[in-house]
């Protein structure tokens, strides 16, 4: 009986920890009611404006007075040290968080006044850590676009430079990728993620350090896929490797949540400021 009491306490503690997690999920507040009174965001051209945006976590300011205007089809690169607010800025565009003050507009529509579904339908994300599910290649590419035909899925894979390696797999497009895509290399996972975004055909694209964890060969293939994906789309690119954003229409350098510098690569290098310093440091490291 005494041993049983000791074992019971262990089981009880495990149950309490599990119950806490279960109730956390059950109590989680829905982002937006399914029958929202907000307007639907129509198909957009991709003009994005951040107007004097302020945001903070737990009353700690993270972004301060951010104003950016991206015209349709432009590439806007966000650079800066870790913790400068780059990812947070793009999370606000997707309304994972709401701004404290200021406004974000897409084609002149305040995103706070449109439904989440209609907003996120217009945006695709290619993250650094690819999210794949334990299913077939074709299921992972088609995730989010259930109405897509097989021909559309294969065409998206071709444009993402993924078709060749997929057809060489044991069961082609019916090959299981394993949990989190463990049966694929990092570059293959990213190209499937890019194919998924191509299939979605968004007008606004978010690339969150999509090539930072890849070797040089894989990076070249993925970068070519990203070039295909970004054509005629408004793209926001977070990049630590400055060599990947030389052709950006705007480079925004963030520091401590504020815009320190902005311009094209040539303009910022000519200015000789913080961006030029970062560029020189990366050039020196690559030379070594």
> With the C-alpha atoms ordered 36, 48, 197, 157, is the resulting torsion angle positive or negative?
positive
**Whole-structure pTM value:** 0.79
Q: How far is CA 215 from CA 194, 222, 231, in A?
A: 17, 10, 24
Paired tokens of 47: 């003009």
| Confidence bin at 179 (pLDDT 50/70/90) | confident
> For the residues 193-222, what does the mean pLDDT come to?
77
Token match 């070249």: residue? Answer: 220
CB 185 within 8 A of CB 215: no
- Give the residue with greater pLDDT, 100 vs 213: 100
Counting residues of the chain whose pLDDT is more than 70, the rounded percentage is: 93
| Confidence bin at 147 (pLDDT 50/70/90) | confident
Angle at 31 between CA 238 and CA 121, to 5 degrees: 55
In 3-state terms the chain splits into helix, strand, coil percentages (rounded to 5) of: 40, 20, 35
> For the residues 211-233, what does the mean pLDDT come to?
72
> For the residues 230-242, what does the mean pLDDT come to?
84
> With the C-alpha atoms ordered 135, 138, 144, 149, is the resulting torsion angle positive or negative?
negative
Using alpha carbons, select from 24, 60, 211, 48 the residue that is nearest to residue 129. Answer: 211
> For the residues 215-223, what does the mean pLDDT come to?
68
> For the residues 143-169, what does the mean pLDDT come to?
87
> For the residues 256-260, what does the mean pLDDT come to?
90
The per-residue pLDDT for 109 is 93
Using alpha carbons, select from 186, 148, 135 the residue that is nearest to residue 165. Answer: 186
Count of alpha carbons within 13 angstroms of residue 32, beta-carbon side: 19
> For the residues 4-20, what does the mean pLDDT come to?
87
> For the residues 6-20, what does the mean pLDDT come to?
88
| Confidence bin at 218 (pLDDT 50/70/90) | low
| Confidence bin at 107 (pLDDT 50/70/90) | very high
Counting residues of the chain whose pLDDT is more than 90, the rounded percentage is: 23
**In this predicted model, what pLDDT tens digit does every residue of 275-287 receive, in sequence order?**
888 888 876 555 5
| Confidence bin at 217 (pLDDT 50/70/90) | low
Average pLDDT over the chain reads 85
H helical segments located in the chain: 2-26, 86-93, 116-120, 137-141, 150-159, 163-167, 186-200, 216-230, 265-271, 274-287
Asked whether residue 198 carries a pLDDT value surpassing 60, the answer given is yes
- Give the residue with greater pLDDT, 187 vs 23: 23
Torsion of CA 102, 107, 112, 114, to 10 degrees: 170
- What are the two backbone dihedrals, phi and then psi, of residue 233, each rounded to the nearest 5 degrees? -120, 145
> For the residues 265-276, what does the mean pLDDT come to?
89
> For the residues 138-158, what does the mean pLDDT come to?
87
- Measured N-to-C along each axis, helices 150-159 and 216-230 cross at an angle, to the nearest 10 degrees, of 120
Count of alpha carbons within 13 angstroms of residue 21, beta-carbon side: 5
- Give the residue with greater pLDDT, 187 vs 123: 123
Distance separating alpha carbons of residues 161 and 266, to the nearest angstrom: 30
| Confidence bin at 102 (pLDDT 50/70/90) | very high
The per-residue pLDDT for 285 is 58
Query: Quick count: other Cβ atoms within 10 Å of Cβ 158?
Result: 15
Asked whether residue 30 carries a pLDDT value surpassing 80, the answer given is no
């Amino acid at each position: 009986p005494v041993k049983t009491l000791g074992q019971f306490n262990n089981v009880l503690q495990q149950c309490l920890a599990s119950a806490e997690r279960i109730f956390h999920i059950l109590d989680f507040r829905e982002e937006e009611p399914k029958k929202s009174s907000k307007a639907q965001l129509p198909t957009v051209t991709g003009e994005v404006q951040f107007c004097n945006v302020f945001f903070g976590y737990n009353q700690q300011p993270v972004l301060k007075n951010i104003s950016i205007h991206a015209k349709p089809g432009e590439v806007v690169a966000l650079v800066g040290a870790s913790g400068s607010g780059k990812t947070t800025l793009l999370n606000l565009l997707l309304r994972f968080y709401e701004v404290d003050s200021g406004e974000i507009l897409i084609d002149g529509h305040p995103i706070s006044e449109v439904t989440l579904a209609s907003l996120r339908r217009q945006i695709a994300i290619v993250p650094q850590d690819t999210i794949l599910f334990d299913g077939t290649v074709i299921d992972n590419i088609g995730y989010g676009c259930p109405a897509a035909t097989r021909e559309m899925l294969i065409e998206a894979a071709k444009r993402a430079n993924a078709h060749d390696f997929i057809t060489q797999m044991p069961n082609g497009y019916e090959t299981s990728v394993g949990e989190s895509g463990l049966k694929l290399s990092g570059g293959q996972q990213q190209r499937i993620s890019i194919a998924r975004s191509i299939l979605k055909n968004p007008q606004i694209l978010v690339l969150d350090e999509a090539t930072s964890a890849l070797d040089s060969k894989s990076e070249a293939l993925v970068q070519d896929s990203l070039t295909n994906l970004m054509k005629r789309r408004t793209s926001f690119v977070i990049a630590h490797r400055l060599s990947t954003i030389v052709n950006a229409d705007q480079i925004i350098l963030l520091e401590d949540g504020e815009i320190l510098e902005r311009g094209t690569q040539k303009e910022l290098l000519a200015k000789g400021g913080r961006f030029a310093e970062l560029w020189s440091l990366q050039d020196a490291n690559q030379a070594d």
